[in-house]
Structure 1
């Protein structure tokens, strides 16, 4: 009896080991298959497979247009109301009358706000290169206004040409310029840019939320990294993993205040906060409200203060003096900065010289070409991404056909 019991126990253990090994083998096979499929999709790019990539991009665009058309049809009442509102605004825009001055003012402000909101959204996606538009547009704009305010002793720049061009007002202004007046001058641009960055954080939130509700596995590296982090949360040892885990715990446990804290400081891990909120089904207005307040109000005022203080007149003069104090090469480095600052001062008072204009034109030309290259790369990355999305559809269709056979 004892021997029979021992034999049964050994057979049971052996069967359990075989089942465990089988599950392990199946899991490894599935992971390897997913890896190969991901590599196959990632190879669908314009510089490797241009014709297939363009074909997949067009097909994915048509599918998206069809899906959007269906969604708009289901919300045809709201769409009709918006069309009626736009029709009324169009009529008011083209009819002559005393209201045109208000129409032009509203048009100017709306276009100006839309410009900065768009730049904020592009900053969240990094123009496909990870470079933020704050460094390219908003930061230089705040710096220009700061330098001009101290030189003109005023922020009442004539409109137009402001904001396209800054010129000191003709009437003299007595007194000293205050930090608060400069902050107020650039508040609209900064807040609109911050609101755009908040809107740009919504795609990771909606992606993770949809994946959690549907049970699907999105083809997104950040989401896969997030799931792996959840699986190995207790064994994470490196600093990056612990930092990501800290953000995830803060957002999940503290809620609105945790999201607000993460959004109110320069935080490269905030995408993880959006994924965390979507994964744990945090209400939309809790996530977006905290993100909007943090990025458009708190964080933007911190960044504005930093730029304004950095480009204050006395600090800039001290920086130029420190450059001249560098042994041997200091004076040669100091001269171009002094010439540039002097040219900017003359320009503010309508005294721009030909040489300075040529130098500025050369710098403007180089900056424009850099932006064009970045935008082209961004468009190419969108084409590749949509083509890879269609490639995933093709793979899923093949997998479903294999299961039915």
Structure 2
């Protein structure tokens, strides 16, 4: 009798376990089906959200919605200021040391004495270096504007030195006012006069050209560090947008879809950097390349060592590329070529002779400005036309640069807030499902 009771107990227990496991299996299948349905439904909703965000970002510019853009840009500035202050507070010791050093340096500058001559020299040279480095960084970073300070500042400076070298037959320009203003030496003796060559003019502008090129190399570091930090963090949500874009292009290429020339250039940049390494980075940095940002992103994503990336970029941009650009500008503004160019303008039908006048007067005025004692003729409206056009062009570019900074700040704020809202919504959904 006890054996029969135990047997019936074991049978009932087994039946309960079977029903329980069956129920759990059904529940798990239901959960998996629900999860898959949620995932499949989440994909189109994510695409819809991305489209909405892209549409909103396109409209978030000063000429379409000025008040909203200014509001978002102000919020982004406050966010950046707050985050930077928080970072500084984490390194209080370093901030304290830098603050003490700054106070000591300021006291040294303000205290009168014989050391003021050395400080004056350091001031002029330091400002010179910071100026050209900063212009190089601005040209490379650009903040989405494509602002190329070579065309606006370094190129005209090299052209002015070239024209002055041929006019003065010398490169010993008095300092000061050089490099802020170029004047011929006052001495009229044949001593010191030279027949300027390509190499002598290149040597005269070598330092500022190298500093500008080094600045452009420094400007390529933020994309590299961002991609590297995103890769090391292991969080796919923090991956750079351009990495995701490259992955999409690779998938399209594998499927055999037709790619534009620009998209092919992006994939070529990634391939050459990934396969060739140092010399691939050097090659990409040595030529005018609007896609070089992708080289920094690719190197950061594939954890290329810092000095391998920065060394190749510095050599390519500050040495090889700068020498190519210097040679091009110096040859273009050779005195003989300038005269031939002005003569060539006369062959243009109808407007050729009229075009010659402002160019002739412009170059004549440039030559007159190089001599201290020469009486400068009254500059006519035609003579001042080219300089007015160039100054207006620089002013428009700077205004466009400022406007684009405001637009970029506003769009970054919009992206950040939308991502936070989306992340908070997904977190609440996961909590409800659990």
**Fold in common (TM above 0.5):** yes
Comparing 215-224 with 385-394, greater Cα deviation is found at 215-224
Note if contact 1:236-1:242 (Cα within 8 Å) is conserved in structure 2: no
* Counterpart for residue 396 of structure 1: 419
| Whole-angstrom CA distance in 2 between matches of 1:308 and 1:182 | 8
- Corresponding residue SS for 1:356: coil
The partner residue of 2:167 within 136, 143, 151 is 151
Note if contact 1:149-1:155 (Cα within 8 Å) is conserved in structure 2: yes
The partner residue of 2:53 within 20, 32, 37 is 37
The partner residue of 2:184 within 157, 160, 168 is 168
* Counterpart for residue 287 of structure 2: 265
RMSD: 3.0
Displacement of 1:263 after TM fit?
0.4
| Whole-angstrom CA distance in 1 between matches of 2:302 and 2:253 | 16
Check if 1:324 corresponds to 2:320. no
- Counterparts of 1:1-400 in structure 2, within 5 Å, are 26-126=42-142, 128-171=144-187, 172=189, 173-214=192-233, 215-217=235-237, 222-234=242-254, 235=256, 237-238=258-259, 239-326=261-348, 329-350=351-372, 351=374, 353-356=376-379, 363-400=386-423
Displacement of 1:47 after TM fit?
3.7
CA pair 367-174 structure 1, distance change in 2 beyond 3 A = closer
Displacement of 1:174 after TM fit?
3.5
The Cα offsets for residues 110-137 of structure 1, whole Å up to 9 and x where unpaired, read as 1112111222122124475324111111
| Whole-angstrom CA distance in 2 between matches of 1:331 and 1:361 | 17
Displacement of 1:365 after TM fit?
4.8
Note if contact 2:136-2:149 (Cα within 8 Å) is conserved in structure 1: yes
* Counterpart for residue 10 of structure 1: none
Displacement of 1:237 after TM fit?
4.5
Note if contact 1:127-1:375 (Cα within 8 Å) is conserved in structure 2: no
| Whole-angstrom CA distance in 2 between matches of 1:260 and 1:390 | 35
CA pair 331-73 structure 1, distance change in 2 beyond 3 A = same
Can you give the 5+ residue segments of structure 1 that lack an aligned partner in the other structure?
1-17
Comparing 212-221 with 82-91, greater Cα deviation is found at 212-221
The Cα offsets for residues 161-185 of structure 1, whole Å up to 9 and x where unpaired, read as 2222211101233342222221111
CA pair 313-366 structure 1, distance change in 2 beyond 3 A = closer
| Whole-angstrom CA distance in 2 between matches of 1:39 and 1:329 | 46
CA pair 68-131 structure 1, distance change in 2 beyond 3 A = closer
CA pair 42-336 structure 1, distance change in 2 beyond 3 A = closer
| Whole-angstrom CA distance in 2 between matches of 1:127 and 1:393 | 17
| Whole-angstrom CA distance in 1 between matches of 2:108 and 2:379 | 44
The Cα offsets for residues 257-307 of structure 1, whole Å up to 9 and x where unpaired, read as 211111011112211111211221222222222111211111111100111
Displacement of 1:103 after TM fit?
0.9
* Counterpart for residue 4 of structure 2: none
Q: TM-score, normalised by structure 2?
A: 0.80
Note if contact 1:192-1:296 (Cα within 8 Å) is conserved in structure 2: yes
| Whole-angstrom CA distance in 1 between matches of 2:65 and 2:131 | 35
Displacement of 1:233 after TM fit?
4.0
Q: Choose 1 or 2 for highest CA Rg.
A: 2
Note if contact 2:359-2:383 (Cα within 8 Å) is conserved in structure 1: no
Can you give the 5+ residue segments of structure 2 that lack an aligned partner in the other structure?
1-33, 430-434
Note if contact 1:120-1:196 (Cα within 8 Å) is conserved in structure 2: yes
The Cα offsets for residues 304-348 of structure 1, whole Å up to 9 and x where unpaired, read as 011111111122222223333456654443343333222222222
- Corresponding residue SS for 1:355: coil
Note if contact 1:41-1:391 (Cα within 8 Å) is conserved in structure 2: yes
Q: TM-score, normalised by structure 1?
A: 0.85
